[in-house]
Amino acid sequence: MEPFHRLLAPSVVNCLTCGKMVSRSTLKVGVCLHCYDAIPWIREPRCSICGRHIGCPDCTRTGGKETYFQSNRSAVAYNSMMRDWLGQYKYRGNEKYSELLVMMLEKALVNMRNEYRQNKGTETWNIDIITCVPVSSIRLEERGFNQAEVLAVGLADKMHLTYKELLLRERHTNKQSFKNRSERIRDMENVFNTDREMMNSVHNILLSRPRSFANIPLRILVIDDIYTTGSTINACARVLKEIGERIGHPVEVYSLTWARS
């Protein structure tokens, strides 16, 4: 039936992002070649910690807060075009963008995995659990969905990995885009937590791993839409590291965001 439906489908369609009429056969996840070629991929991050594509003053700053995550990687650099795409998905609720953004995260995770396997000489490096940054009930009511959760679930499905909700948001915070670095860091203190059921799910995954993995840390990947100062990811990572302490096994936290500002 599928080939028959393809015959009935229009051969010329609108590009999801620019609206230009193009041949269906040239689309890449709903995007025309012109828009696809304009995507500002981060292929070789300059900063090994936060994944920034240009010089990074934050990670080299002394006297800062302790970093609880191993590293962040991002699919793209945040520019005006990416801001429009994120706005369509996150604020206007255009669900058609979710497949596109998941595809972009998938490419980034494949690159991240290859990077760690090559640079660290660890051929078995992989992610054990994918989770996401939770939103407050206020934000959930505003948007109708958690944009990071949709991306995380979609990515886990594409990569055949396990997705688990591991974090609770204890309180609502105002939009981070209006705050400077120090305000963001201060605002994110003690925002996230976990519960016994979530800890048990991590412990069960730990027990399901092969015996040869007994001395290998459990690797958790946190998904979010955009990385700016890293304060949100770091706050999440602190709680996830504490889960490891409670279950008696080391946990390494990694972050993958769709964009890096």
* pLDDT, position 5: 47
Q: List the domain boundaries for the chain.
A: 1-38, 39-260
d(CA 61, CA 58): 5
pLDDT category at 24 given cuts 50, 70, 90 is confident
Give the other-Cβ count within 10 Å of 88's Cβ.
17
d(CA 261, CA 248): 36
Q: Please check whether residue 250 is in contact with residue 95, taking contact to mean a CB–CB distance below 8 angstroms.
A: no
pLDDT tens-digit readout, 62-106:
566 789 999 999 999 999 999 999 999 999 999 999 999 999 999
pTM above 0.85?
yes
Of 120-124, 159-163, 185-189, least confident by mean pLDDT is: 120-124
Give the contacts of 148 (CB within 8 A, at least 6 positions apart): 132, 133, 134, 135, 223, 224, 225
Q: What is the mean pLDDT of residues 188-198?
A: 93
